[in-house]
Structure 1
Amino acid sequence: MRAGVEVLAVDLPEEFTGPVGYADRWVWIAVGLAVALVVYYVLAWWLTRAPRRPALARPGVALPDVRQQHLARIDRIEAEVVAGRITARDGHQQLSEVVRDYVAAVTTLPARTMALADFRGRAPVALVEVLELVYPPEFAPDDAIAHDLFETAVDRARGLVATWSPTRSAA
């Protein structure tokens, strides 16, 4: 049988040759295409993922002390509005200032200079809800809306300052 194989190999015409390997460039083209595909998917994932929110908590702040100071300020504002020394509209403006000051003291947000739209984009929901309650009466032309919403605004501001912590807030 071996002889038969040799005879076949010898009997083949000259135009037939043995197996030929592929050129190296085709292997490198295939590897390059595979790498390009992987890079494409990695870039697509990287560039379309949700941005990371920076840490809000300001390091080195004595939260209980800051909290007590701001709660005392809210109590003073409430007492002045109830006594009639300031209008409810001014009370809303001062509540907004106290809440912003508290947030600026315990977080890295520049709360004193942010507009409501900025808060909606960057701040936690609990903070935005309080500011959304305080803003309309703060800028209303008459004092009726401010007077009607003042107690609710005081309760919500007090609740935010008393319970909110930037380390466990969800934006």
Structure 2
Amino acid sequence: MRSADAPPPGFYPPAPYSGHWVWIGIALLGVVLVWYVWVWWATRARPVVVPRRITPDRLSRIRADYARQIDLVVAQAHDGAITQRRAHQQVSVLVRHFVQEVSGIRAPTMTLTDLTSSGERLSPVSRVVGVLYPGEFAPRETQSVAGAAQVAKEVVSRWS
């Protein structure tokens, strides 16, 4: 005879979960938590950085430095050290970084449409980038960078 506490024959209690599954679940929750923290951090409002006032002496040094760098890119393209496409890209980057260094405007991350729609302040930069775009993105390299570099140097020399 069977005791009242004994399970009926053929009945087995459920098998316990392995301890590995608990750690896998905790790790997945941790990954989800890290994802939410990263999304929050990446999309938070960033403080506006106001550039310090640039003295006329420092502005003239910055202008001379960027004009020299543009001339260096043109010389490298003329010597064949870099392609005309690469030269157009580098001149575009130089003009955009100049504007950011002098005024604090995030021009390096702006498209031509962004620059054009930003108003009169950035219209000289949008003209330079508009001149550089065909040389940067045309199917074939056909344009010399010299003309675009001259326009870029004019913007660097006149920007305030």
Give the whole-Å Cα distance in 1 for the aligned partners of 2:94 and 2:71.
11
CA distance in 1, matches of 2:72, 2:53: 27
Indicate whether 1:152 and 2:147 are aligned.
yes
Larger Rg: 1
Could you tell me how far 1:59 is from its partner in structure 2?
A: 3.3
Q: How many matched pairs? A: 106
Q: CA deviation at 1:65?
A: 1.6
Report what 1:137 is aligned to. 135
User: After the TM superposition, which segments of 4 or more aligned residues of structure 1 sit over 3 Å from their partners?
Assistant: none
Mapped partners of 2:51, 2:116: distance in 1: 20
Aligned to 1:7: none
Who is 1:70 aligned against?
A: 66
Structure 1, gaps ≥5 residues long: 1-56, 166-171
Q: Deviations over 1:86-132 (max 9, x none)?
A: 11111000000000010110112111111111101114221111110
Question: C-alpha distance in 1, partners of 2:139/2:51?
Answer: 37
Matching residue's letter, 1:108:
G
SS at match of 1:124: helix
TM-score of the two chains, using structure 2 as the length reference = 0.62
TM-score normalised per structure 1: 0.58
| RMSD of equivalent CA atoms | 1.5
Q: 1:95 aligns with which of 88, 91, 105?
A: 91
Separation in 1, partners of 2:123, 2:65: 23
Q: Which runs of 5+ in 2 are unaligned?
A: 1-49
Instruction: Give deviations 1:61-95, integer Å, cap 9, x for gaps.
Output: 22112111101100100110111111111100000
Q: Which amino acid counterpart does residue 76 of structure 2 have in structure 1? A: E
